[in-house]
Chain A
Amino acid sequence: MAPAFDTQPVTAPRLRVGRWRAAGLLAVLIAYLAATAYVAHTDLGLQSLVLVAAVFGILAISLDLVAGMLGLYSLGQGGFFGIGAYATTILANDYGWNVFGLLALVLAATGLIGMAVGAMSLRVSGLYFAITTFIFTLVLTVLATDMVTVTGGLQGLLGPAFPDFPTSLEWLGTPLVWCIMLALLACLCLVWNIRHSPLYPILLSIRDAEPFAEAAGARTAAIKVGVFGVSAAMAGGAGWLFSFLGVVSPSQFDWSVSLNVLVMVLIGGINTSVGPVVGAMFVSMFPNVVNINPWLQEIVYGALSILAITLLPDGVVGIARRALARRAGEIAPVADAASAEALPAAPTVASAASPKDSEIIVECRSIEFGYGLGPKVLRNVDLAVRRGHIHGLIGPNGSGKSTLANVISGRLTPHAGEVLLKGTRVDGMPASSRSRLGLRRTFQAAQLVKELTPTQNVMVGLFDRVPRIVGRAPLWPMLASGRRDLAAMQRRASEALGLVGAGDWTSRQVADVPHGIEQLTQLASVCVAGPDIIVLDEPATGLSAKEVRHLAAILANLKTQGVTMIIIEHQTRFLFPLCDRVTVLNAGEVILTGSADEVRADPVVRQVYLGE
């Protein structure tokens, strides 16, 4: 398949655009600092309005970090916020601790508590995560109300005073304004950096397609707990800031605060960089702007939040972004409408010589598996795949093929038996560790992030090939190594897409590409990591005849590079010419393993599977 391997035109680094963008960012930064200076010199009323909005902005960013990027709707932000504020107030007022020392303490403590709460509530997913964190906040509010001697009960406590500037810096104005506004800026930067790092597609894939992220080597549970810890620390830091703004009392941290923060994020626009801050400004300034009877005001607020959720599910920033995209779309009409049909012509299948007696690279020994208390789905299954072979796995629906693939790749743990990869026993290992041994897989129903481009999805496949993605993500675009690695990852991802013949689709959202391209994107995300072993679960499902021929060519080519493949497939006309060995499963048992010809000739196989 020579033509496809010619280097695809690599997107040239758009230096000029980058420079314009840097200038724009610098201008925004200067404007931000100028506004801060203005607020630092203005009257107290406006100051407190802005500062409260900014503190809630940080809180909203902390929620968006977990809700927007990981899909974890935490209602615990109010609780972490309260821990930060109470710890600061009590330790500074009663024990005279240094407030900056307290900041470090608060960040560490809320981060750790967040990780503990996260680890506990992640046993249950989705709604239960929201409920557990909700209860966390509820319990803290009750404690703050009832431990009157420590917390002052419902009356609350007067927060500590923020230290003054040294005389040489007094011209800057109110120090607290600078502190809060710089903290907000730091949080905005943190999230913006993550959003522009390769961690971003990985986080979204954990949110939308967790098996995909796991198969790419991401320890999804650890990442979730870690990010939740960061989010909790951010909320705790917001509490630290809040304690300087006046009285700290239970009603400022109860569950309705957690929900209000969610309202802020949703109104502003979930999973956007500035949306949460826009929402926080709106919600926290609302009572000051709409100055009517307090009950009527609450009624209007309730009505507005319902309207915002039902009418603007993407939030203000989401709407704005869509409007901008539409305008951009009008200027540059869709270029690849014509090329949509054109897959590169499939080269003829090269009959690659397969190594006859190479060593066994994947081995299953007497695997037993069943779902729940139901009947056994796999019974005493033995499978041995030699290095460099393409091993077919066929059988009627429900015969256990996908289950076996899941056992090999680590999605499922067998009840009995052993799985060996390259001689290492792996049946106790999570999927992410098997990826490090060079095993990758695709899924029958493509597991991809719909709102990202195929390129970004393929970058997920590079997760364990690039060092320290998670550690570097908070500073990514500021690091030279980060920019270099990101460019390299993007190049490799679009090359991989080009190699599988999806090079024309790199910049569309996956939601907008046809099914065949989704399948090819999956394949590219696997190939890009250069694995030794690939498990393909029905790769040809839903492809057109032409696409199937193309796929066969890609797989044959991978084989010439020495990649071992286990392919589950129903289309024997596609599968058999590729295979060195074929294993036939029926009702959870291996009927036969042999060459394609032997399998085709076997009377039992003809009866149970080929239907004769």
Chain B
Amino acid sequence: MLQFVLSGVAIGSIYGLIGMALAISFYVTRIINFAQGQLMMVTVMVTAELASSGYPVWLAALAGLACSCIVGILSYVIAVRPILLSNRFSFGWLVSTLGFAVIVENAAAYIWGPTSQAFPPILNGISLPIGGAVLTAQQLLAIVTAAVLAAGFEIVRRYTLFGKLGMATAADPEMASAIGANTAIVAIVAFAVSAVYAGIAGLLIGPSTFANPYLGDTFGTYGFIAMMIGGGTERPIAAMFGGLLLGVCAEGANALINSQASDWFPFIVLVLILIVSPKGLFSTSNPLFRPRRAAVTRG
């Protein structure tokens, strides 16, 4: 029992990070970046490549994150901004971000080949007994990192001028630019931050999955589910809660139903949650759970 909860929280914090990455870019631009999983994959591939050619792991990881960042900004400049500018077509981004994901994924497969490569172990060797369960240091690192990043994001969003700028851009981009906010810069920063979050998730999961160009698909989907379960479309941090729930559900299904159950059980949970509360479990519109801040509906 404790074992699957702990390992569920560990894997869930990875899902949550990717969910938050999706939610951060959604928060500012109101689009879902379908290339988010691929941004994670870029970090993993670049880090693996550099580490295997002899660079120190920390340098390889930083370079990997930087690459994700660049690709993330590119995804905004190439696939999102032109669509939002023309504005005539509000759903074109569905296609353009997917197109971007296809490009990144197949470029990676073209460069590195479709098979998995070694990823440098970060803390995998050490394990810590907690109660009757065992947690590897790698898993503990994932949990701590996710908690710090989630809390950090929320603090920046609420208490700094830049965070408030993001909130203003999210609520009404035209108004935000009328009071002098450069909404393009805000969006670019949001995409860069979201790429870093996804990249960090990649660094945390890389040692267990190894480096594979198609990693982005699976984890992008799980991140998306995390965001939808949690209601990250309204508050990015809710995606983290969604990720934790998802992780525990998946590990619990594996432990209690059978070893394949994590393939389908989370989807059942997702459907049930969306039937009850279409905008997610921790969203303001959930009929079962309302945060204290009263929703001010517009006429």
Contact in complex: A306, B278 (CB < 8 Å): no
Contacts of A266 in B (CB 8 A): 89, 92, 95
Contacts of B105 in A (CB 8 A): 298
Stretch at the interface among B52-60, B195-203, B267-275: B267-275
Within 8 A of B (CB), among A365-390: 371-374
Most B CB contacts (10 A, CB to CB) among A131, A262, A373 go to: A131
Contact in complex: B270, A306 (CB < 8 Å): no
- In the complex, whether A121 has a CB less than 8 A from a CB of chain B is yes
Give the distance in Å from the alpha carbon of A139 to the alpha carbon of B224 in the complex.
13
Contact in complex: A303, B99 (CB < 8 Å): yes
Minimum CB–CB distance from A334 to chain B (whole Å) comes to: 23
Contact in complex: A132, B102 (CB < 8 Å): no
Contacts of A146 in B (CB 8 A): 260, 263-264
Contacts of B88 in A (CB 8 A): 313
Give the distance in Å from the alpha carbon of A75 to the alpha carbon of B91 in the complex.
12
Give the distance in Å from the alpha carbon of A73 to the alpha carbon of B94 in the complex.
10
Contact in complex: A310, B296 (CB < 8 Å): no
Give the distance in Å from the alpha carbon of A308 to the alpha carbon of B94 in the complex.
13
Contact in complex: B91, A73 (CB < 8 Å): yes
Contact of A306 among B100, B233, B267 (CB under 8 A): B100
Knowing A138-B221, A302-B106, say if A132 contacts B274 (CB, 8 Å).
yes
Contact in complex: A132, B278 (CB < 8 Å): yes
Contact in complex: B103, A303 (CB < 8 Å): yes
B283-298 interface bits toward A, Cβ cutoff 8 Å, 1 = contact, 0 = none: 0000000000011111
- In the complex, whether B110 has a CB less than 8 A from a CB of chain A is yes
A114-131 interface bits toward B, Cβ cutoff 8 Å, 1 = contact, 0 = none: 000000110110111011
B76-109 interface bits toward A, Cβ cutoff 8 Å, 1 = contact, 0 = none: 0011001100101111101110111111011101
Contacts of B270 in A (CB 8 A): 135, 139
- In the complex, whether B30 has a CB less than 8 A from a CB of chain A is yes
B212-228 interface bits toward A, Cβ cutoff 8 Å, 1 = contact, 0 = none: 00000000010000001
Knowing A135-B270, A138-B221, say if A372 contacts B294 (CB, 8 Å).
yes
Contact in complex: B228, A306 (CB < 8 Å): no
- In the complex, whether A301 has a CB less than 8 A from a CB of chain B is yes
Give the distance in Å from the alpha carbon of A373 to the alpha carbon of B32 in the complex.
31
- In the complex, whether B235 has a CB less than 8 A from a CB of chain A is no
Contacts of B91 in A (CB 8 A): 67, 73, 130, 262
Contact of B278 among A128, A263, A301, A403 (CB under 8 A): A128
Contact in complex: B94, A306 (CB < 8 Å): no
Knowing A303-B103, A309-B83, A310-B86, say if A262 contacts B94 (CB, 8 Å).
yes
Contact of B94 among A259, A296, A313 (CB under 8 A): A259
Minimum CB–CB distance from A298 to chain B (whole Å) comes to: 4
Contacts of B96 in A (CB 8 A): 305-306, 309-310
Contact in complex: B94, A295 (CB < 8 Å): no
Give the distance in Å from the alpha carbon of A308 to the alpha carbon of B88 in the complex.
14
Contact in complex: A371, B89 (CB < 8 Å): no
Contact in complex: A259, B106 (CB < 8 Å): no
- In the complex, whether A145 has a CB less than 8 A from a CB of chain B is yes
Contacts of A313 in B (CB 8 A): 86, 88-89, 92
- In the complex, whether A291 has a CB less than 8 A from a CB of chain B is no
Knowing A143-B264, A306-B99, A309-B92, say if A135 contacts B274 (CB, 8 Å).
yes
Contact in complex: B110, A256 (CB < 8 Å): no
Give the distance in Å from the alpha carbon of A127 to the alpha carbon of B264 in the complex.
25
Q: Which chain B residue shows the least CB distance to A123?
A: B278
- In the complex, whether A142 has a CB less than 8 A from a CB of chain B is yes
A3-38 interface bits toward B, Cβ cutoff 8 Å, 1 = contact, 0 = none: 000000000000000000000000000000000000
Give the distance in Å from the alpha carbon of A64 to the alpha carbon of B101 in the complex.
24
Contact in complex: B297, A372 (CB < 8 Å): yes
Compute the total of residue contacts between A and B using a CB distance below 8 Å: 122
Contacts of A302 in B (CB 8 A): 98-103, 106
- In the complex, whether A293 has a CB less than 8 A from a CB of chain B is yes
Count of A residues near B, CB < 8 Å? Answer: 45
Contact in complex: A299, B102 (CB < 8 Å): yes
Give the distance in Å from the alpha carbon of A145 to the alpha carbon of B267 in the complex.
13
Contact in complex: A305, B267 (CB < 8 Å): no
Minimum CB–CB distance from B130 to chain A (whole Å) comes to: 32
- Contact-size category for B: 35 or more
Within 8 A of B (CB), among A124-182: 124, 126-128, 130-132, 135, 138-139, 142-143, 145-146
Give the distance in Å from the alpha carbon of A263 to the alpha carbon of B32 in the complex.
16
A55-88 interface bits toward B, Cβ cutoff 8 Å, 1 = contact, 0 = none: 0000000000001000001010000000000000
Contact of A135 among B86, B89, B271, B295 (CB under 8 A): B271
Give the distance in Å from the alpha carbon of A73 to the alpha carbon of B92 in the complex.
10
- In the complex, whether B152 has a CB less than 8 A from a CB of chain A is no
Contact in complex: B103, A299 (CB < 8 Å): yes
Give the distance in Å from the alpha carbon of A306 to the alpha carbon of B228 in the complex.
26
Within 8 A of A (CB), among B136-151: none
Give the distance in Å from the alpha carbon of A296 to the alpha carbon of B108 in the complex.
11
- In the complex, whether B180 has a CB less than 8 A from a CB of chain A is no
Give the distance in Å from the alpha carbon of A132 to the alpha carbon of B275 in the complex.
10
Contact in complex: B263, A142 (CB < 8 Å): yes
Minimum CB–CB distance from A591 to chain B (whole Å) comes to: 22
Contact in complex: A130, B86 (CB < 8 Å): no
- In the complex, whether B299 has a CB less than 8 A from a CB of chain A is yes
Give the distance in Å from the alpha carbon of A226 to the alpha carbon of B9 in the complex.
43
A279-319 interface bits toward B, Cβ cutoff 8 Å, 1 = contact, 0 = none: 00000000000000101101101111110111001000000
Contacts of B294 in A (CB 8 A): 372-373
Contact in complex: B228, A371 (CB < 8 Å): no
Give the distance in Å from the alpha carbon of A132 to the alpha carbon of B100 in the complex.
22
Contact of A130 among B94, B101, B102, B107 (CB under 8 A): B94
Minimum CB–CB distance from A119 to chain B (whole Å) comes to: 12
A256-281 interface bits toward B, Cβ cutoff 8 Å, 1 = contact, 0 = none: 10010011001000000000000000
Knowing A123-B278, A309-B89, A371-B297, say if A139 contacts B103 (CB, 8 Å).
no
Contact of B83 among A67, A120, A310 (CB under 8 A): A310
Q: Which chain A residue shows the least CB distance to B103?
A: A302
Give the distance in Å from the alpha carbon of A564 to the alpha carbon of B270 in the complex.
52
Contacts of B221 in A (CB 8 A): 138
Within 8 A of B (CB), among A474-532: none
Knowing A262-B94, A295-B106, A296-B110, say if A142 contacts B264 (CB, 8 Å).
yes
Contact of B279 among A124, A262, A295, A305 (CB under 8 A): A124
Contacts of B83 in A (CB 8 A): 309-310
Give the distance in Å from the alpha carbon of A373 to the alpha carbon of B98 in the complex.
40
Contact in complex: A120, B275 (CB < 8 Å): yes
Contact in complex: A139, B271 (CB < 8 Å): yes
Contacts of B101 in A (CB 8 A): 302
Give the distance in Å from the alpha carbon of A143 to the alpha carbon of B261 in the complex.
11
Contact of B267 among A120, A139, A293, A299 (CB under 8 A): A139
Give the distance in Å from the alpha carbon of A201 to the alpha carbon of B139 in the complex.
58
Minimum CB–CB distance from B155 to chain A (whole Å) comes to: 28
Minimum CB–CB distance from A109 to chain B (whole Å) comes to: 19
Contact in complex: B264, A310 (CB < 8 Å): no
Give the distance in Å from the alpha carbon of A299 to the alpha carbon of B101 in the complex.
9
Contacts of A298 in B (CB 8 A): 102-103, 105-106
Q: Which chain A residue shows the least CB distance to B260?
A: A146
Binding site for A on B (CB under 8 A): 30, 32, 34, 78-79, 82-83, 86, 88-92, 94-96, 98-103, 105-107, 109-110, 221, 228, 233, 260, 263-264, 267-268, 270-271, 274-275, 278-279, 294-299
Extra inter-chain contacts (12) besides given A139-B270, A310-B92, A372-B296, CB under 8 Å: A73-B94, A127-B30, A142-B263, A259-B34, A266-B95, A295-B106, A295-B107, A296-B110, A299-B106, A302-B106, A305-B96, A313-B88
| 10 A-B residue pairings within 8 Å (CB atoms) | A75-B94, A142-B263, A142-B267, A145-B263, A266-B92, A305-B102, A306-B100, A310-B83, A372-B294, A373-B296
Shortest 9 CB-CB contacts between residues of A and residues of B = A302-B102, A302-B103, A372-B297, A305-B99, A298-B106, A295-B110, A310-B82, A302-B99, A306-B99
